Amino acid sequence: MFKLSVLTWAFEAARPGFGPSQTRGLKMKTEDAIRRIGEMGFDGVELVIWNIDDFPASRIERIKDEVGRFRLEVANICCNDNVYVWSGPVYTNPDHKVRDEIVKRIEREAKAASDLNCKYLGVWPGSETIPLKMEYWKAWRYFIDTISRCVKVAEDYGVKIALEYKPENILNNADSTLRAIQEVNSESLGALLDTGHAIVAREHLPTVTEMLRKKLFHVHIDDNYGDWDRDLPPGSVHNFEPFIQALRRIGYRGFLSMDIWPYEDAWKEIGLGKEYLERIIEEKRRG
């Protein structure tokens, strides 16, 4: 049986230029977002960290208390320091000091994950955009080396890393992600499949699922029209039933984590996605 979770940023962030804030003018703290997700009856929560400096040990302990109060699991931690703290390439930066710093931050995030009983860190190389700032293969070697180091420091805390690809990044599809996983060659490195990213990449979700197989560590589930990553609730545009069937075929039993960035009403849009997923999961289980 699949478990459902939501990224905290669904309540934390506001989408500018698309009407009112999705929380009707209220930007929530992470702790408040966790509380809301728990009240909505989800199995888990996905913590988004834009800057690990904002999450000292005392705050992690408060978050752990909130998670426990609602009997939630921490499905994954999204590590986004690379796009928030820096304004350019990080994992592929020619300056070793920058690469060293992201490894240190991943280590701190792995410690936080361990403290929260979370098994996975999601790494999205959103600052390594195409066109790259250097020759492709040089950037690729830097990337593989940095990710290898990140995997090793995370392993010390019993945490695995899931690489999240997106068309405009150095990891732009399932093939490049599998190539990275194979080159690092560690049981502690796998893939994070974001359905919205795969749709924009013109990938067939069941096929990608079967390609990744046991290396599929975590799933972000959201929808769009194939033009850009709109982070709509699943089922808004596409039928996800074949995707759910493929997940069952490969034996995936992890979280389906809704990566929703609501346009107007977070409660309504997240609720619609939850209702849709629960319905098709139950129908496919019976079938």
Residue 282, pLDDT score: 86
Question: 205-212 and 241-250 helices cross at what angle (nearest 10)?
Answer: 10
Please state the φ and ψ torsions of residue 175, each to the nearest 5 degrees: -60, -45
Alpha carbons 237 and 272: distance in angstroms, whole number: 13
Given pLDDT bands bounded at 50, 70 and 90, which one contains residue 97?
very high
Residue 11, pLDDT score: 87
Residue 1, pLDDT score: 77
The answer to pTM > 0.75 is yes
Measured CA angle at 39 (ends 37, 45), to 5 deg: 25
Query: Residue 114 maps to which CATH number?
Result: 3.20.20.150
User: Which residues constitute the domain of residue 95?
Assistant: 3-286
Structure tokens at 225: 């029209």
Residue 24, pLDDT score: 46
Residue 285, pLDDT score: 64
Q: Sort strands 216-221 and 255-258 into parallel, antiparallel or unpaired.
A: parallel
Question: 96-115 and 136-155 helices cross at what angle (nearest 10)?
Answer: 30
> Is 91 a residue whose pLDDT tops 80?
yes
Summarised one tens digit per residue, pLDDT across range 123-158 is: 999 999 999 999 999 999 999 999 999 999 999 999
Residue 20, pLDDT score: 37
Give how many domains the chain has, as a whole number.
1
- How far CA 75 is from CA of 100, 117, 203, 253, 264, in Å, comes to 27, 9, 25, 12, 25
